[in-house]
């Protein structure tokens, strides 16, 4: 996979460095909800491509809680709404999307199931997202036991 190098102004670069790249409140909400359901996991599992936010190692399920803008959710619609610095943001987001697909393929080749949830979906419908994970665990159990 090609590495992308984006030219940025010093101000944009400074602003991006200030962004938190740690656990978000939404990731915490989701992780605590999984734990409450008795689902054990690892956070920020560096041993896997893409460093999933949550890895359920027993069932080989890799969960990503993605920011909708950064990962191109509903991209064809949202791309039209970018008004400033389009020459920077559109290739940047599309490179993120390409990287996500590449990492998903690597995970699948290694026998993992990647799941991506948008942050807003997790925040507004946490129970629904948990049910999807439980469904996948049930289906995955058929193959692992």
Domain positions in the chain: 22-144
| Ramachandran angles phi, psi of 9, nearest 5° | -75, 160
| Ramachandran angles phi, psi of 21, nearest 5° | -115, 20
Q: N- to C-terminal Cα distance for the chain?
A: 35
In sequence order, which residues have a C-beta less than 8 Å from that of residue 35 and are 6 or more positions away?
Answer: 41
Give the pTM: 0.80
Give the pLDDT of the chain (145 residues) as one tens digit per residue.
555 555 566 766 666 555 555 568 899 999 999 999 999 999 989 999 999 999 999 999 999 998 877 888 888 888 888 888 888 888 988 999 999 999 999 999 999 999 999 999 999 999 999 999 999 999 876 655 4
Is 22-144 a CATH 3.40.960.10 domain?
yes
Return d(Cα 120, Cα 79) in angstroms, integer.
18
pLDDT tens digit sequence for 24-44:
889 999 999 999 999 999 998
Q: Are 119 and 70 in contact (CB under 8 A)?
A: no
């Amino acid at each position: 996979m090609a590495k992308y190098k984006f030219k940025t102004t010093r101000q944009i670069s400074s602003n991006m460095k200030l962004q938190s790249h740690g656990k978000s409140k939404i990731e915490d909400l989701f992780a605590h909800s999984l734990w409450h359901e008795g689902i054990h996991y690892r956070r920020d599992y560096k041993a896997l491509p893409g460093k999933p936010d949550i890895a359920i190692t027993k069932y080989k399920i890799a969960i990503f809680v993605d920011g909708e803008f950064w990962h191109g959710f509903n991209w064809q619609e949202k791309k039209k709404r970018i008004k400033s610095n389009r020459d920077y943001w559109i290739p940047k987001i599309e490179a993120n999307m390409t990287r996500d697909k590449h990492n998903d393929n690597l995970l699948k080749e290694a026998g993992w199931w990647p799941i991506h949830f948008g942050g807003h979906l997790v925040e507004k419908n946490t129970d629904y997202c948990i049910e999807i994970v439980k469904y996948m665990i049930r289906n995955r159990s058929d193959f692992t036991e």
